[in-house]
Amino acid sequence: MGMLVDGKWTSKREQEDKQGRFVRPSTTFRHHITADGSSGYKAERDRYHLYVSLACPWAHRTLIMRSLKGLTDIITVSIVDPFMGDDGWFFSDYPGAISDDVNGAQYLRDLYIKAEPSYTGRVTVPILWDKQTGTIVNNESREIIRIFDTEFSEFAKPDVDLYPKDLRQSIDETIDAIYQPINNGVYRAGFAVKQEAYEEAVTELFEALDHWDQVLGKQRYLCGNQLTEADVCMFTTLLRFDPVYYVHFKCNLRHIWDYPNLSGYLRDIYQTPGVKETCNLDHIKQHYYRSHPGVNPHGIVPLGPVMDLDREHGRDRLYH
């Protein structure tokens, strides 16, 4: 994908180090929203707008949290086209996409330039936009879901808390633990340009999946028997694993459906009220298989696999 350099769009490939390992650049807009406004950004109804891709696992986290917390009428949303070509993310009338009615942007990069005319960096989703000041507040998914979870209590469902005080250390440690080998691990495998880097990533990925499958054989969720932010972060990778990462990124030692506990856990989260409606497998497959010509030169999108995510999981009876 391309990137902006001093506010100008330029073609640039994914980043890798000298060993051929994919290196994910850091996000750059890291402001915080607080309930009392002490951060300079106050949690308010209809002040903030979320820009996402239904295909992107990082952006998907924010959509799930927005839904679970009951913020769909509080925080508006725009959804880009699933295809990301030479010009990056863009808005269209593709089924499931939602145009930008806030800024009228054609390309996602227009928003970065509006927020910072001399911006240099990648143009990524999600974006949390402040309509009042006309700028990007934050583009780091982990921080956005925390903002939604903790700072919009006045407007959110009061009984939904995915960052409970007694589990906060465990949640933070778990999100850290799954990030490099799993969430980012699939990309490290898929975008590796040397055999050794690919094998390193895949080995670490499946060691981590094996570990968490064992954990989920003893408890319903990653941090115990309560749904937390950590589960949201794990779910968006697992959802894309069998239809995309197994084939497209060559993460093919095992499917998620081969794991007795991870597969049931995936269905459990998917069937949680508020989650299913944020999932779009068409956008997911259209994006990955068409947007990475270095991985899939002809852009052929596979018809399968058939995923019965509505099948009974039984985890609510096993762990309660």
pLDDT per residue as tens digits for the range 218-240: 999 999 999 999 999 999 999 99
Residue 307, domain member (yes or no):
no
Residue 306, domain member (yes or no):
no
Same-domain check for residues 128 and 196: no
Residue 77, domain member (yes or no):
yes
Active site includes 56? yes
Mean local confidence (pLDDT), 124-146 = 98
The CA distances from residue 254 to 15, 142, 295, in Å, are: 27, 27, 20
pLDDT per residue as tens digits for the range 4-31: 999 999 987 556 666 767 666 666 898 9
**Catalytic option among 56, 223, 251, 279:** 56
CATH code where residue 17 lies: 3.40.30.10
| Contact partners, residue 22, CB within 8 Å, separation at least 6 | 14, 15, 16, 187, 188, 190, 191, 192, 197, 201
Mean residue pLDDT of the chain comes to 96
Q: Are 7 and 1 in contact (CB under 8 A)?
A: no
Active site includes 279? no
DSSP string, 88-154: BSB----TT-B--TTT--SBTHHHHHHH-TT--B---S-EEEETTTTEEEE--HHHHHHHHHHS-TT
Same-domain check for residues 114 and 140: yes
Residue 296, domain member (yes or no):
no
**Catalytic option among 187, 198, 245, 265:** 187
Same-domain check for residues 169 and 132: no
Task: Tell me which residue range forms the domain holding 100.
Answer: 3-150
Total tally of structural domains belonging to the chain: 2
Q: What is the pTM of this model?
A: 0.95
Same-domain check for residues 187 and 144: no
| Contact partners, residue 71, CB within 8 Å, separation at least 6 | 65, 148, 152, 155, 156
